[in-house]
């Protein structure tokens, strides 16, 4: 395979066929939404800001934001570094309009994406299909985590969709696509996994808001065995794990909502690294099942990260996820 380079205005410059590329996309611990491209061809010049690197029709690529030249006595190595397409979105903010508490994304999913691209002023890099997705979304953006990547993918996820970003015909095409549930559709022998399971996580969060001492606004929120959160205690005794959260600028319903959101984020059951043999490719947000027979463990996961290694000879992908369900 080869990578194509274009300038900041999208004009094609040249291909690169002798290279090594490492990139990751997704969310969660250890995911940077970045790439490191080692350019082996000595005739390739130093990159300029906001050049694009891409492989047509694939998720591979991103925006160049820097370089590193490593020199030695007999050789040198040029690294181009930057953000993947998801990383570009991660470095832009979906912030409420002046005087508004929140920004709400609502309407057809692709129309929401078109509006976001226009709002962010990134139409020279991203395009969205003219056709509607046929699924409506309604999502209130998170002021505490206002980046576009997080809020757009969660908006899509709330409607059973995922955000697909790949280079097509001169730009990175963003579109909402239905999450694919691969359970029962892929031979589990093609899917290998490393599983880390957390049997107990924080299930009682005490959040303290505005005020002082006994007059301070305090709420208690709880999680159940399935990871659902609310205001009714579900886990007690030796199964209860408590944690304190200081939110001293918050009160009332906002304090409760913030506490529920924070506790929900702590309901990870562990982590899964999924390696898929050649010939099977998943999207971020897809559901996959893997099985191990001795001991008997079945893992259903949402794909949350994708690590790609590419070179002139081709590319391979490794996937990461948090387990949605572990059966024994």
What is the residue extent of each domain of the chain?
Answer: 3-83, 92-178, 188-197+269-327, 204-265
Assign a CATH topology to domain 92-178.
Answer: Phage tail protein beta-alpha-beta fold (3.55.50)
pTM: 0.79
> Are 158 and 136 spatial neighbours (Cβ–Cβ below 8 Å)?
no
Predicted local confidence at residue 87, as pLDDT: 98
Torsion angle defined by CA atoms of residues 108, 115, 87 and 9, in that order, rounded to the nearest 10 degrees: 130
DSSP letter, residue 59: S
- In sign, the C-alpha dihedral spanning 221, 225, 228, 230 is negative
Query: Quick one: which H or E segment has residue 112?
Result: helix 109-120
Predicted local confidence at residue 328, as pLDDT: 46
pLDDT in tens, the chain (328 residues): 999 999 999 999 999 999 999 999 999 888 999 999 999 998 999 999 999 999 999 999 999 999 999 888 788 899 999 999 999 999 999 999 999 999 999 999 999 999 999 999 999 999 999 999 999 999 999 888 999 999 999 999 999 999 999 999 899 999 999 999 988 776 666 677 777 777 889 999 999 999 999 999 999 999 998 889 999 999 999 999 999 999 988 999 999 999 999 999 888 766 667 666 556 788 999 988 777 766 777 777 788 999 999 999 999 888 887 655 445 4
Torsion angle defined by CA atoms of residues 8, 14, 17 and 21, in that order, rounded to the nearest 10 degrees: -10
> Are 97 and 104 spatial neighbours (Cβ–Cβ below 8 Å)?
no
> 52-54 and 3-6: which strand pairing?
antiparallel
Three-class secondary structure of residue 258 per DSSP: helix
- Beta partners for 105? 139
Instruction: State both tokens at 53.
Output: 């690197």
């Amino acid at each position: 395979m080869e990578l194509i380079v274009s300038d900041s205005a999208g004009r094609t410059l040249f291909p690169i066929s002798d290279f090594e590329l490492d990139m990751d996309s997704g969310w969660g611990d250890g995911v940077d939404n970045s790439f490191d491209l080692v350019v082996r061809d000595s005739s390739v010049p130093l990159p300029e800001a906001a050049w694009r690197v891409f492989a047509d029709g694939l998720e591979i690529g991103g925006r160049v934001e820097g370089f590193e030249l490593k020199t030695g006595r007999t050789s040198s190595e040029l690294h181009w570094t930057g953000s993947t397409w998801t990383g570009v979105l991660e470095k832009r903010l979906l912030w409420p309009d002046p005087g508004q508490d929140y920004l709400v994304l609502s309407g057809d999913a692709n129309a929401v994406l078109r509006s976001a691209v226009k709002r962010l002023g990134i139409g020279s890099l991203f395009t969205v299909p003219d056709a509607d997705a046929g699924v409506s979304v309604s999502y209130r953006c998170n002021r505490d985590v206002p980046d576009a990547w997080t809020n757009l993918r969660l908006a899509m996820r709330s409607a059973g969709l995922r955000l697909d970003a790949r280079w097509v015909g001169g730009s990175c095409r963003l579109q909402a696509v239905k999450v694919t549930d691969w359970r029962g559709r892929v031979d589990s022998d093609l899917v290998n996994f490393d599983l880390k399971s957390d049997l107990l996580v924080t299930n009682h969060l005490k959040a303290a808001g505005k005020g002082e001492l006994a007059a301070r606004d305090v709420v208690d929120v709880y999680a159940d065995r399935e990871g659902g959160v609310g205001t009714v205690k579900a886990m007690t005794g030796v199964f209860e794990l408590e944690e304190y959260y200081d939110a001293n600028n918050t009160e009332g319903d906002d304090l409760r909502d913030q506490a529920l959101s924070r506790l929900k984020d702590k309901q990870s059951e562990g982590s899964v690294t999924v390696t898929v043999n050649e010939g099977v490719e998943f999207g971020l947000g897809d559901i996959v099942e893997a099985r191990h027979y001795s001991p008997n463990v079945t893992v259903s996961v949402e794909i949350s990260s994708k690590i790609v290694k590419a070179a002139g000879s081709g590319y391979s992908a490794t996937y990461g996820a948090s387990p949605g369900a572990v059966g024994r």
